[in-house]
Amino acid sequence: MIKIINIYGRKTKRFLHFNELNLEIFVLLLFAINSADSADRSSLTNLHLKTNQPTVLDITTTTPRYNPNKIPRSLRLPNTTYPLSYHLHIVSYVHREEFQYNGNITIEILVRESTNEIVLHAKNLTVTAISMRELNTHVTLDDLTYTYNERANFLIIHPIENYQAFEAGQRYRLEILYKGFFQENSYGIYWMAYKDEKNGTVYEIATHFEPTSARLAFPCYDEPSFKANFTISLTHSNYYTAISNMLVRQIEPYIDVNGALGGIDGPMLTTTFHATPAISTYLVAFVISDFVYISEEYHGVLQRIFTPPHVADKGRRALKNAVRALSKFEDYFGIDYVLPKLDHIILKRSPAAMENWGLITYVGDALMNWDDVGSSKMQFDVIVQNHEIAHQWFGNLVSPQWWSYAWLNEGFATYFSYVVTDLLYPDYKIMDYFLIYVADDAYSTIGIRPMTYYLENSSEIRKVFDSITYHRAACVIKMFHHAFNQKTFVRGISQYLRKYQYSVANELNLIDELQAAIATDVTFSQAVWSKNSVRDIMLSWTHSSAIPIVSISRDYEYNTITIKQRSKDQSSLEYWWIPLNFASASAPDFQRTTVDYFMPPVPEVTLSASELGIELRIDDWLIVNKQQTGFYHVLYNDANLWLIAKQLHDNHTVIHPLNRAAIFQDLGYRIRNNNLQSVDVIFKLLSYLQHEKELVLWVQVADTILYLCSTLYGTSSRQMYTKFVRQLVKPMFTEIFEKPVQQNLTNTEVFAREKIMEIACWVDLPECLTYTHNVVRDRLVDSEARRNQKKYYGNSDFSDTLLLCLGMRYLHDGEFNAMLNTLSNGDRDTHPWYDDLIYALRCTQNQTYLQQYLNFLLGENSTKSIMDDNESMMYLVYMLRSNRAAHTVVWQFLEHNYQVLCRKDCFLRIFNRIAEYVPRSYLEQFKYLRQKIALQPKKVDENEFLIDVDSPSIGRRVEKSEIFVQKFNNQVYEWLQKHYVEDGIINFI
């Protein structure tokens, strides 16, 4: 061993371990490493591969006398060192079905604080050699080894004996040779294959690193705040091409381990790309494939759509959209896209579309065949593409400091993809779709977690990419975009992007830039909150897991308004800064959506109309939250609702369509929670719908109508209620369905058509029953008519499952028997409608058919097992959840077949879910049935248990419906009886 002393002017112990490395090779490699600079790393890589020897230090045989794993560790990287640049070289032989690859990663590292270790991530990689040298002195550190921390995926490089080996301010070059495997799943570097008529099976590799999968591909600092420049080299067959985040710098013939050009089965190339800007590891990307591309350059940015050769030229419309969208984002935020190119590539599989900087990956048929698919499918693809393009600013140019702030990426990309799409394609009415798709989902996420949420391990990080991060965040961003004045908000966002470009940010960085923009807006010069309260305002939303309910009541004598707030989550006592704006009969301006009044985080305030800046007469209606820009529910007192109802009957167009829709969305909450004084005003509001043509409103009222339809099942009111709703929905159904189907439907139109059809059929509108029954006949019975089904029923935009379900409500005996025969004799794997048929048959209203259906799926004499026990048992839950006519049948089936069902592994778990639908009228019978089940021998998992006889879960799914019937059925009956005329016409006066 050679002892080296006083490298840094102090005594240290450093050792070289030669092992099998002969002196000649050692001198050669040491010279190469000490003399190589960042411009010739590729030649050094080839040198390693030629010699097939470790670089300087063979760490595989070193036994450390210091174990870093004995130190308690966070799952987060320490901040003692930082990567400045990476040089990554991957050698792939995937073209010959070899799924292991050779990797070489060189990282230039800055030491921020003196430390005895360098910690980075690696997972499922085999390290073969490590070398490190200090860049100022070119001295090689030769007494190093490494330890792996499996819990944190940490590769810890440290001296064999414990001492402070890395000094603050020094820069080091770390080189690691390793081997990895291309993954079969779609994370890290993964492989795919497809069949090509000319060349047979063609393989390709691609990457998906978000959020923590870069460590599966190469050792790195795999956290978003550790940004660095990447230079990437990919060695591959000359039959393939390679793309990455940046444009190609050079392509060279590859010299293999024997010093020959190419590999054993043909020439190979090494493609090297230009260095990226500072970029987080999760945004690094590359693809090796035989794909071809079409391209267009605009304002100095080259955009390309890559597809397999057999679908070349299919992405023309997607390319046009990409060019337009990128330009619109640049104009909207006043910040240019900073890379020279932006590629879009369609992959056979991927976890999702991914916004890698300069190389966006998509899955399936996204971006292709836009001329051949339904318009709504194309619109959805446009949103997806524009979402990923938005990420080039939100996430790529400015990245989140940590995954707690993932909503800074996904929330902004979601919301502004809709904004820009609306600017580019106003005929899509895409902001209506935002309400019925994004906002509706966001309103359903209560009490899960707030937008800003601390987490550490990889599984938690993956879970943060949910509807809260995407949809709730988008709704909150939309709210403040409007409340803070749209131009002012965008100016603040632009300042934020400029200030933190090529860097990382957290929510306070964003909020402070918005505060700076708002402070200069003369619109808010008199508002106290505008000077220094934006932090408090926005944090009350980003750190809340609940949603506010705002209650509005009026004192008509003194013309005051009392505003109350509470959480939709009844267990929460939190309060928010809530931006409110107002419209009234005297001032019906719904266009200005800037905040009129910020309600502070208190339970209640009472102010005069003049204090709120509202023009309001005693007999005026008042509406809060113009165009549903705020992310909260609004509940009005009955007196104000009567005034609104009068306006809707007199001239409903005075009130903005989105506010008309909001009235029914918010009423739905009151109805479901039995928060009503009287149903009279509810039915007065509903009765105007015979004149309503706005689709977004029908979407938002549909669930309320259907809820009442289900709740009133079996009551004295049900028959009159269904006749009432038939009169409401018939004009809209006739207008939509009794004419040829349009082929260019928007997303909102498709969704509204489904909702209107669902309402019409569930109240037995004859025209709807005939229409959907024809669908069942054409698709499942009459093969000849199936050829013409597109003419009558449109394209794949429409939900086949819903159509079939509604068409199954009233079948003839021969038709139902034909369905069961198809299930008995058909092949689930090959029949195109098999699964849809199984699912749709649950919708029949004939109790004899329902009994036969359950016997076929689960009965003791069932002769064909078409699904596993868990899947078939779930149909009991589906029927209870969606078909009131099936409830009696399900309970009878359980009583007669519980002995057979108890032998199924999953029975207890399913039975416990079924218990949630027990009505009070059946409670004693249920307890008796449960007692008999408890005495049966059962196949059970050790974690399964039989629900307790006094469990509060029993009947919880039907409890509110039963309370509604108990409290309001008589009122519903009296209202309908009073307004129903013998000839079947509702008197709406």
Band (607; pLDDT cuts 50, 70, 90):
very high
The residue among 233, 222, 219 whose CA lies nearest residue 279 is: 222
Encode pLDDT of 284-304 as tens digits.
999 999 999 999 999 999 999
Please report, as a single letter, which amino acid is at residue 855. Answer: N
Average pLDDT over residues 240-246: 97
The C-alpha atoms of residue 119 and residue 207 are separated, in whole angstroms, by 23
The residue among 345, 231, 243, 224 whose CA lies nearest residue 282 is: 224
The C-alpha atoms of residue 70 and residue 77 are separated, in whole angstroms, by 16
Task: Check residue 706 and give its pLDDT.
Answer: 96
> pLDDT at residue 776 above 90?
no
Q: Which percentage of the chain shows pLDDT scores above 90?
A: 71
Cis amide prior to 211 (ω within 30 degrees):
yes
The C-alpha atoms of residue 819 and residue 839 are separated, in whole angstroms, by 12
Of 788 and 729, more confident: 729
> pLDDT at residue 863 above 60?
no
Residue 987 phi/psi, 5° resolution? -85, 110
Q: Give the dihedral sign, CA 498/499/503/505.
A: negative
3.90.1150.10, 3.90.45.10, 1.10.150.170, 2.60.40.1730: which CATH number matches 81-290? 2.60.40.1730
Average pLDDT over residues 184-193: 94
- Does an H or E element contain 102, and which? strand 100-111
Q: Give every CB contact of residue 117 below 8 A, 6+ residues apart in sequence.
A: 68, 80, 156, 157, 158, 165, 166
Task: Check residue 979 and give its pLDDT.
Answer: 84
Q: What is the CA radius of gyration of the chain?
A: 33
Average pLDDT over residues 555-569: 93
Strands 604-608 and 154-159: what pairing? unpaired
Report yes or no: 658 and 435 within 8 Å, Cβ to Cβ: yes
388 is catalytic: yes
Please report, as a single letter, which amino acid is at residue 805. Answer: C
Total residues belonging to the chain: 989
Q: Which CATH superfamily is domain 363-543 in?
A: Neutral Protease Domain 2 (1.10.390.10)
Of 558 and 178, more confident: 178
The C-alpha atoms of residue 121 and residue 459 are separated, in whole angstroms, by 15
Q: Give every CB contact of residue 331 below 8 A, 6+ residues apart in sequence.
A: none
Which ranges of 213-351 would DSSP assign to H, the alpha helix? Answer: 316-333
Task: Check residue 700 and give its pLDDT.
Answer: 95
Task: Check residue 939 and give its pLDDT.
Answer: 63
* Ranges 534-543, 681-690, 735-744, 834-843: which has the least confidence: 735-744
Report yes or no: 519 and 421 within 8 Å, Cβ to Cβ: no
Tell me the C-alpha to C-alpha distance, in Å, between residue 63 and each of 56, 142, 219, 263.
Answer: 16, 14, 21, 36
The C-alpha atoms of residue 124 and residue 180 are separated, in whole angstroms, by 7
Report yes or no: 290 and 240 within 8 Å, Cβ to Cβ: yes
> pLDDT at residue 361 above 70?
yes
The C-alpha atoms of residue 798 and residue 740 are separated, in whole angstroms, by 14
Task: Check residue 4 and give its pLDDT.
Answer: 25
Please report, as a single letter, which amino acid is at residue 752. Answer: A
Domain spans of the chain, in order of start: 81-290, 363-543, 548-671
Q: Give the dihedral sign, CA 36/39/43/45.
A: positive
Residue showing tokens 């048992």: 873
Encode pLDDT of 732-761 as tens digits.
999 998 877 666 788 899 999 999 999 999
Instruction: Report residue 126 as tokens.
Output: 């085999």
Report yes or no: 360 and 389 within 8 Å, Cβ to Cβ: yes
> pLDDT at residue 478 above 80?
yes
Mean pLDDT of all residues belonging to the chain: 87
Please report, as a single letter, which amino acid is at residue 442. Answer: A
Encode pLDDT of 248-278 as tens digits.
999 999 987 666 666 566 789 999 999 999 9
Instruction: Report residue 107 as tokens.
Output: 């990282």
The C-alpha atoms of residue 65 and residue 61 are separated, in whole angstroms, by 13
Q: Give every CB contact of residue 830 below 8 A, 6+ residues apart in sequence.
A: none
Task: Check residue 71 and give its pLDDT.
Answer: 82
Task: Check residue 350 and give its pLDDT.
Answer: 84
How many other CB atoms sit within 10 Å of the CB of residue 846?
18
Instruction: Report residue 586 as tokens.
Output: 């005297």
Average pLDDT over residues 108-122: 97
Band (218; pLDDT cuts 50, 70, 90):
very high
The residue among 152, 285, 273, 151 whose CA lies nearest residue 209 is: 285
Instruction: Report residue 717 as tokens.
Output: 């009111």
Q: What is the CATH number of domain 548-671?
A: 2.60.40.1910
Strands 560-567 and 548-555: what pairing? antiparallel
- Which candidate in 210, 355, 388, 692 is catalytic? 388
Domains 81-290 and 548-671 share a fold: yes
In three-state secondary structure terms, 734 is helix
DSSP code, position 263: B
Band (27; pLDDT cuts 50, 70, 90):
very low
Task: Check residue 944 and give its pLDDT.
Answer: 77
Average pLDDT over residues 701-723: 95
Task: Check residue 830 and give its pLDDT.
Answer: 76
pTM: 0.89
Of 379 and 10, more confident: 379
The CA dihedral of 443, 449, 455, 461, to the nearest 10 degrees, is -30
Residue 872 phi/psi, 5° resolution? -65, -40
Band (52; pLDDT cuts 50, 70, 90):
very low
Q: Which percentage of the chain shows pLDDT scores above 70?
A: 87
Average pLDDT over residues 211-217: 98
Task: Check residue 868 and give its pLDDT.
Answer: 78
Instruction: Report residue 918 as tokens.
Output: 């027990």
Q: Is 391 assigned to a binding site?
A: yes
Encode pLDDT of 565-597 as tens digits.
999 988 888 999 999 999 999 999 999 999 999
The C-alpha atoms of residue 273 and residue 232 are separated, in whole angstroms, by 6
Q: Give the dihedral sign, CA 134/167/72/210.
A: negative
Burial class of 466 by CB neighbour count within 10 A (0 to 12, 13 to 18, 19+) = middle
Q: Is 387 assigned to a binding site?
A: yes
Q: Give the dihedral sign, CA 37/282/99/253.
A: negative
Q: Is 117 assigned to a binding site?
A: no
Task: Check residue 162 and give its pLDDT.
Answer: 86
Task: Check residue 861 and give its pLDDT.
Answer: 66
* Ranges 20-34, 445-459, 622-636: which has the least confidence: 20-34
In three-state secondary structure terms, 634 is strand
Please report, as a single letter, which amino acid is at residue 795. Answer: N
Task: Check residue 838 and give its pLDDT.
Answer: 87
Task: Check residue 865 and give its pLDDT.
Answer: 66
Task: Check residue 30 and give its pLDDT.
Answer: 36
Task: Check residue 937 and give its pLDDT.
Answer: 80
Burial class of 330 by CB neighbour count within 10 A (0 to 12, 13 to 18, 19+) = middle
